[in-house]
Structure 1
Amino acid sequence: MAKCWRYCSDTEEDLFVTNVLAEAAGAELPVALDPAGSRLLEQLLPRTSAPQLSALLRPLLPALRPAAGHHHGARVLEAALLRAVRLLGAEGGEAVAGLVLEAAAALTGENLPALASDLHGSFVLRSLLRVLGGALVGSVAARPIPGAGTLVPQKKRAEAGSEGPLEFEVPESFLACLQGIVASFQEHLAELVPHRVSSLCLQVALEVTSQKLPKTCAELCCAVIGYLSSRNASSTSSPLLVFLKDPTCSRVLDKVLEVSEPRALRMLYRHHFQGQLQVLAGHGVANFTVQHLIAAAPCKMLGKVLAELGPALEEVLACGHPGVLTALLRACRQHGAHQQEALQMVLEAFHCWDPPARQDFCAPLLASLQTYEAYYPSEEGLGATEQQPGPLPALGSISLHGSLLLQHLLHFANPGPVLHSLAALPALDLVTLACSSAGSHVYNALLASSSVSPKQRRKVLRKLKGHYGSLACSKHGSRVLDAVWNGATLPEKQKIAMELAPQEQQLCHDPFGRYAVRNFALTHFRKRRKDWDQVQEAETRRRELFAEILED
């Protein structure tokens, strides 16, 4: 169906939508619940006008609750709500806004807990919360809104290209309705928080209100914390810690940490987390909440978290939770503080801080997430001055989190140990790192970091000379080679091209190498090299003849 729109003019599309909706008049509910009919409506809704959307939604209002709980009906209602986003400011938008409010009244109230816990109804409720709050958050923000054209965001707080909130203007009546739904959430927390499906609606409510209704969001956060704190009271530790180890409740707490104000976050840490971070970081579920706490922590609080977690980083790594280390380094990089302490603690966890000579071997240890003794088992009895770095682990052993650790450290104010270690690696190890899906991103950090001087950068990159062909024929290595080329000076580009030019035929037959031939204009450089070789031969011959004349 979607492919057919390519061959239709705007007039033909409008006529088709009008005719189909006219045929469905009087049987909107059966069509919405029918497998084929619902798919057709989903395709048509992004192209409906405000009057057409109103005519479709109004007959569904009396049976909105059963339709929201149906597999096909829920998809139609989601598409209708997302279409309403575009029509609020169009002609007939007031009627659409009134229908959205009527739909909210029919779906919420006494039906709210049942709708939130329903597998299909929860999707409709989450879409309703986003529309009422004027913020397409979560996974919906990462995909295009149904309809022609693009919705221009009024404010996008996330980085460009990342998943984040997409905000738009909504009537005050929508925000008032959202406040009423949030108040109903607070009354039914005992049913919503521990439920696997309904807790997702609570998370969306927290995220939406944090954008448009910060006071309401703070009240909801306090209500969630108060409810969990009142359960399972314990005299030895905070009752909240029990729920941090539950997969469902911990997700709600993660969202609370994400949207809480700094003052509320500090109080939450002081009353519930302080002194327990080492235990939580070693738990299979609670360690993710610790990562969210680190990401949300203000600078002063980050120092306390680092001091508490630092001595236990090796145990956390042994438990298989490197995300905690990654979160710490990321937070130190963003705040520009506590970087030296974090670097020392991380290298101590990998047993390569002391003696200082071991710091030159830290890059392969971090990349593979192995301690010094595990990486160099045959070197344990040797002195620090006798030990030599071995080759990097196999391609599959270069860890994603290990790559992230190296990337964050390269962006530190003093990335000296990592730079020295990378520069000390053999050329083949650097090629292995560049050709790895995770390790190739280390070169992005090396090239982009403002803390790395051009001289330090060249000291690492010059070891790739002689291996440009291997990089050009690798999926990830070719991306590294492109980045090196883009940041190189003209003489450096000439050296790269002159090395690759003799391999032009081989590169042309490689699925990745052929792009190097095109991007680097290797044919031009090959011709220039041929001309240069001829000039050199002629010059050599001229000198030989001149020497013969002098001898005579």
Structure 2
Amino acid sequence: MCNCHGSHVIRSLLCLCKGVPLDSEFHSAKSSTVLSRRLNLYSDKEHKNETLIVHQGFPDLLEFVVSEMLKCNATDIAALQVDQYSSLVLQTALKLLAGQEQELLRIIPVILGCNVENADQSYFIETTEVQNIRDLVKESAFSHLMEVILEVAPDTLYDEIFMKIFKGSLYDISCHHYANFAVQALISYARNQDQVGAICEELGPRMRDLLKMGRAGVVASLIAASQRHHACEHKCSKELAAAVIIANEDPNCIVPRFLLLDNYLFSKDKANWSWTSGCRVHVMGSLILQSLFKYPSDCIQPYITSITSMDSSHVLEALKDSSGARVIEAFLGSKAPEKQKKKLISKLKGHFGELALHPSGSFTVEKCFNASDVPLREVIVSDMLGVQKELSKTRQGPLLLRNLDVDGFSRQPEQWRSRQKSKLTVYKDFLAEFVEEESVSWEKKNPPTTDLSKKATQQTNIKKMRQEIDTVLASFTSSDSSKKNKKQKKSGKEQGDNDVEQKPSADKKKRKHRQKR
């Protein structure tokens, strides 16, 4: 287990016993996948790709192999806890046993260095081992192992780990270079609102300090968990704003400072800080804002005001960075008032063609189009006309031109406007009639959970519904035009028939006239 080659062989053996592919995430998970899941950015497409086809495995053999691996003395367990390669084996074993509560309750205390017999006494973690575990979390290998433990632990064991090991020491553990990742996992896999509330009480007032020491991942995890469980959203929003502004400062600077977080944090004169052109958008600052714009609109009013107050040049510069574009797209998809969304979109007049030619800009242009009314949509499409030829040669261009119906606008502007009005009307009526009531009733019947695929599925269904509306309306338009064409052909044919009928009658008159002569 402690050998790089042997570790790989054992992990492969465990995957075979479970009946999953050897190249699955159980063998080696991608950090980007883990991060997207923790920050509520896990799309429906990614969820489908992750879903594995489990073949016929050997579950009894899997449990036997894991049990035999952990049949060692305290000294050997201590060595396994801090070894890089044995940590990977234990992580794989835990992931493969996810959902098997009894087995997890038996092996996790052993991995933590506790006595498994204590489970019969209604507790799993010995008080004498608490400080030792806190010290172990500061080791790189054990920190990664603790992340997986928190992910798969049954609720009772997770609660005990939270209360005995982390609560009261969250900030101190978050300050450590390795241990802070375990805190991120603790926050991301919180089971209920009470746990998120306790974490927020402890870490909320320390957000400024966490950002200064480069622990933005802890802050991002807290914002995402608060949004996921609908717990302490107002408090988190307020504390986050206070982390980047000083008392009596203009709140309009909040969003720019998060977009260029490192540039702001390392500036000597923070009070007079201003947007610095040419800087890359901070990735974690972008992720924090993306999670924040999923909050209810009454919780994020300062952020809405801040993003809509940005200069047009700054908005355009942010959009040319993929991380910045994600923030603008998150705002356009948020519950902010339509008036505020249109205000931001209006700042980009004359630049939509330039954005569409940018590799990641086409997605933002389409988001702007979907969030606009008909006059603003016309402005966007008018900008597209100037770059239509260049855009058609790019990878993303043909799809964007088709979705915005740029060709239809150039040929028949009036019909294009009529179609857009119909689409907006039908779409708004559908949302008012079905989606809002459905989402409210669902939330009443089902309290918030950590299942992120439900939200992704709902967004996908709305997108499909929008496409169906577009298709139906397009078919209506084409059928109307075909009817007009048929009428025109029919009228032309009748006119031709009349001409044919009139010609013989004229010939008859000529013949009669000749006969008379």
Q: Same fold (TM over 0.5)?
A: yes
- The amino acid across from 2:384 in the alignment is L
Provide the residue aligned with 1:454 in structure 2: 338
State the distance in 1 between where 2:242 and 2:115 align: 37
Q: Pick from 345, 348, 367: which aligns with 2:259?
A: 367
Q: Distance in 2 between matches of 1:486 and 1:158?
A: 20
Distance 1:236 1:259, change over 3 A: closer
> Aligned equivalents of 1:194 and 1:142: distance in 2?
19
Q: Structure 1 residues 525 and 182 mapped into 2: Cα distance closer, same or farther (>3 Å)?
A: same
CA gap 1:222/1:378 in 2 versus in 1, 3 angstroms:
closer
Letter in 1 for 2:202: E
CA contact (8 A) 1:117 1:197 kept: yes
Q: CA deviation at 1:483?
A: 2.5
1:441 partnered with 2:326: yes
Which residue identity does 1:443 align to in structure 2?
Answer: I
Verify the 8 A CA contact 1:158 1:165 in the aligned structure 2.
no
The one-letter amino acid of 2:80's match is L
Contact 2:109–2:115 under 8 Å retained in 1: no
Residue correspondences, number: 386
Q: Once the 2 structures are TM-superposed, how far is the Cα of residue 456 of structure 1 from its aligned partner? A: 2.6
In structure 2, the residue matched to 1:196 is: 84
| Alignment partner of 2:207 out of 293, 296, 313 | 313
d(CA) in 1 for partners of 2:20, 2:265: 51
Does residue 120 (structure 1) correspond to residue 5 (structure 2)? The answer is yes
Aligned to 1:362, the other structure's residue is in SS state helix
Determine if the alignment matches structure 1 residue 475 to structure 2 residue 359: yes
Change (3 A) 1:296 1:518: closer
1:432, 1:203 → 2: CA distance?
Answer: 42
SS at match of 2:46: coil
Name the counterpart of 1:330: 224
Q: 1:488 to 1:141 in 2, by over 3 A?
A: farther
Q: Report what 1:218 is aligned to.
A: 105
- Correspondent of 2:56 among 170, 175, 185: 170
1:285 corresponds in structure 2 to 178
- Say if 1:221 and 1:256, in contact at 8 Å, map to a contact too: yes
Output the amino acid matched with 2:342: R
Partner SS for 1:411: coil
The residue type equivalent to 2:250 in the other structure is R
Contact 1:351/1:371 (<8 A) preserved? no
Structure 1 residues 295-344: Cα deviation after superposition (integer angstroms, max 9, x where no partner): 11232111111111123222221111210110010100100111111111
> For the residues of structure 2 that align with 1:516 and 1:375, how far apart are their CA atoms?
40
Greater mean deviation of Cα atoms: 250-259 or 510-519: 510-519
Structure 1 residue 200, shift from structure 2 partner: 0.7
What letter corresponds to residue 473 of structure 1 in structure 2? Answer: L
> Are residues 1:301 and 2:195 paired?
yes
- CA 1:158 to 1:504, structure 2 compared with 1: closer, same or farther past 3 Å? closer
Alignment of 1:347 with 2:232, yes or no, is no
1:431 aligned onto 2:324: no
> Taking every aligned residue pair, what percent have the same amino acid on both sides?
24
User: How has the CA–CA distance of structure 1 residues 359 and 135 changed in structure 2, closer, same or farther, with 3 Å as cutoff?
Assistant: farther
* Structure 2 length-normalised TM: 0.67
Distance 1:379 1:341, change over 3 A: closer
Contact 2:170/2:202, CA 8 A, preserved across alignment: yes
**Residue equivalent to 1:398:** 281
Task: State the distance in 1 between where 2:130 and 2:88 align.
Answer: 27
Could you tell which deviates more after superposition, 509-518 or 254-263? 509-518
Cα shift at 1:493: 2.8
**Contact 2:366 2:404 (C-alpha < 8 Å) held by counterparts:** no
Q: Report SS of the residue matched to 1:226.
A: coil
Amino acid at match of 1:398: V
1:485 and 2:369 matched: yes
Q: CA RMSD in A?
A: 3.5
**1:166 positional shift:** 2.5
* Structure 2 counterpart of 1:497, from 369, 378, 381: 381
User: Higher RCO, 1 or 2 (CA under 8 Å, sep at least 6)?
Assistant: 2
CA distance in 2 between partners of 1:253 and 1:511 (Å):
43
Q: Residue 439 of structure 1: SS of its match in structure 2?
A: helix
Tell me the secondary structure at the aligned position of residue 117 of structure 1.
coil
SS at 2:97 equivalent: helix
Task: Quote the residue 2:18 is aligned against.
Answer: 133
Alignment partner of 2:176: what SS?
Answer: coil
